[in-house]
Every structure is written in C-alpha cells, then in structure tokens.
Copies of this chain bind each other. A is one copy, B any other.
Amino acid sequence: MAFMIAQRAFIKLYLITMVEQQRGYGYQMLEEMKENFKPFGYVPPQSEIYRALHELVHEGVFYRTKQLKGNDPRVDFQEIVLYHFTEDGPEKANLYKKQVKTDLDRCLGMLNKAAEDNYGV
C-alpha cells in the first residue's frame, strides 16, 4: 500500500466527474482544476492531466472524439479532443471511484491522526 493517494488517481477522479457533467476537453479541464485548487497553492501539471486522460482511454473508460472549436472556421481552426464514456465506461468509472474513495478516506484518517498525534488537535 502506498503512503498517500497518488496525484494521478486524484486527477483521474476529477476527470471522471467532469466528463460525467459533460465538461470536457483536456485543456479546459486542466484550467478548471487549476482554478479550483488555486486557494491550495496546488497547480496540477499539464502533463499529468494528459497522462491521466490517456490512461482512462487505455483502460476503456473513455473514448475520444475530435472536434473543431468554435463555429466559424475562418476565425478558429483549433482542434480539440473531447472525452466520453464508453458503453461500459460508467460501470468501470464507478468501480474506480469507489476504490479512490476508500483511499481518500484512508488518507484523511492518516492525516487527521497525524494532527492528533503531533499537535494534539
């Protein structure tokens, strides 16, 4: 068992939730997470988001579609990669989320214990 939850798992969890809510391409989700964790001084690195997305595709949770961003091709040709659940994606995702939840609680338990043991909080 690892010490703490892995950053990769943490990010994958958020990606799954964001795709559940129809929000979704890499850069956008990255920016959202950055904004999300600004108060904590945590800046998820770009490479980790893409690695996490690739893994989720590899694991059969997501599949990809490409799309041009914006409607007017003269204005914006930017191609983006959208992520969607595969047929059995939701099932797999829920299993994964369950596992991560367990780990999350375990970590919270350890950190709270550390606070008690070392600061008497």
Contacts and interface: CB of A to CB of B under 8 A. Distances in A.
A4 B11 CA distance: 12
This chain: how many copies in the complex? Answer: 2
A81 interface: no
Contacts of A16: 118
Given A10-B114, A13-B114, A111-B111, A42 B119 contact: no
Interface size class of A (residues with CB under 8 A): 35 or more
Contact of A108 (B3, B41, B111, B117): B111
Interface stretch (A54-62, A63-71, A99-107): A99-107
Contact of A114 (B14, B43, B109, B113): B14
Nearest to A121: B101
A43 B13 CA distance: 25
Query: Chain A binding site: helix, strand, loop or mixed by DSSP?
Result: helix
Contact of A1 (B42, B104, B108): B42
Contacts of A14: 114, 117-118
Contacts of A107: 4, 107, 111
A110 interface: yes
Contacts of A108: 108, 111-112, 115
